[in-house]
Amino acid sequence: MRGNARSHEMVAPGDLAGVLELLAAEPNAWTPIAGGTELMVAYAAGRLNAKKLVSLWGIPELRFIEWNEESVSIGAATTFRDLRAAARIAVEFPLLAQSAGWIGSIANQSRATLGGNLANGSPAADSSPVLLAYDAEVETISARGRRRFPYSAFHTGYKRNVLAPDELLFALHLPRRFAGHQQYLRKVGTRRAMAISKVALVVTALIEANRVQEIRIAAASLAAFPTRLTATESALTGNLLDAAVIACAQAALLKEAQPIDDIRSTAEYRRKVAANLLGECLQQFAAGSGTR
């Protein structure tokens, strides 16, 4: 254990207004900490540079799942356990419910939050590809007001995002229009549980008479930050799902993907497996057997 508790300050205003006031008063000074499953690991390894932390734990205004007619709104401090336990999420957004079970272990899921996963911005993040595939919107909040924009615009580089120094992630909004979509997700890790992703693929598609009307393909660990594979999507949109098209899409993915070698895996493996996953996905869609 290489962290020193005495070198860090932490405050817990207890409500959203208190947190935003603090961030506005001293922008860039305070690092938000939600469930701690990321920051406390860095802390124990002696790598937590943030000396001043503001706790987002136990703030009900940030932890909610609200159903509207057009969308579902999920508070940024919603835990993965909350997501797994929400029956309606499992029905309407099965990929989100399933990916929530990918995170760490049961003990981690009860603390890790959706907002924390996104704000940390690892290219291997488990929830990011799902939110991209579900066309989610991000809502951020600060003392100056709120912003709402597509999640696909949230990440701008390796562990960089568009949050201003006084801003917090407030909620994710998922449009309720995927009931008729084919859905696929698969994560490839080092083992069945407690595994950081080597590569993951998440896909939603509207297929009619075996023709791809629209498709969203998102991946983990194929780029510096979570992103959709738009060139691969183009190779599919408007086409029939036959063997040639599938092969073409796999070739597009092999070109579009930009994985790296790291401590967990190799670029070659990530690329090849991602292409295999796409093939598996499209074959399931062609057979009409994707998750609904």
Spatial distance between the Cα atoms of 56 and 48, rounded to a whole number of angstroms: 17
Closer residue to other proteins in complex, CB, 91/193: 193
**101 contacts: CB under 8 Å, gap ≥ 6:** 80, 84, 109
Closest approach of Cβ 282 to other proteins, in Å?
13
**38 contacts: CB under 8 Å, gap ≥ 6:** 112, 116, 120
Q: Which residue has the tokens 């801003």?
A: 167
Closest approach of Cβ 151 to other proteins, in Å?
26
Closest approach of Cβ 8 to other proteins, in Å?
4
Spatial distance between the Cα atoms of 97 and 260, rounded to a whole number of angstroms: 28
> Read out DSSP for 138-179?
EEEEETTEEEEEEGGGTEEETTEE---TT-EEEEEEEES--T
Closer residue to other proteins in complex, CB, 194/251: 194
In order of 167, 213, 223, 270, the CA distances from 220 in angstroms are 25, 24, 8, 10
Q: What is the largest CA-CA distance in the chain?
A: 63
> Read out DSSP for 13-39?
--SHHHHHHHHHHSTTT-EEESS-TTH
Closest approach of Cβ 183 to other proteins, in Å?
18
Phi/psi of residue 149, nearest 5 degrees:
-160, 165
DSSP state of 105: -
Closer residue to other proteins in complex, CB, 46/180: 46
Spatial distance between the Cα atoms of 84 and 100, rounded to a whole number of angstroms: 6
Closest approach of Cβ 176 to other proteins, in Å?
29
Closer residue to other proteins in complex, CB, 55/210: 55
DSSP state of 210: T
Closest approach of Cβ 188 to other proteins, in Å?
5
Kindly list the residues in this chain that would bind other proteins in the complex (CB under 8 A).
1-12, 33, 35-37, 40-41, 43-46, 51, 53, 55, 57-58, 81, 101, 104-108, 110-111, 188, 190-196, 263-266, 268-269, 272-273, 276-277, 279-280
Closest approach of Cβ 4 to other proteins, in Å?
5
Closer residue to other proteins in complex, CB, 109/152: 109
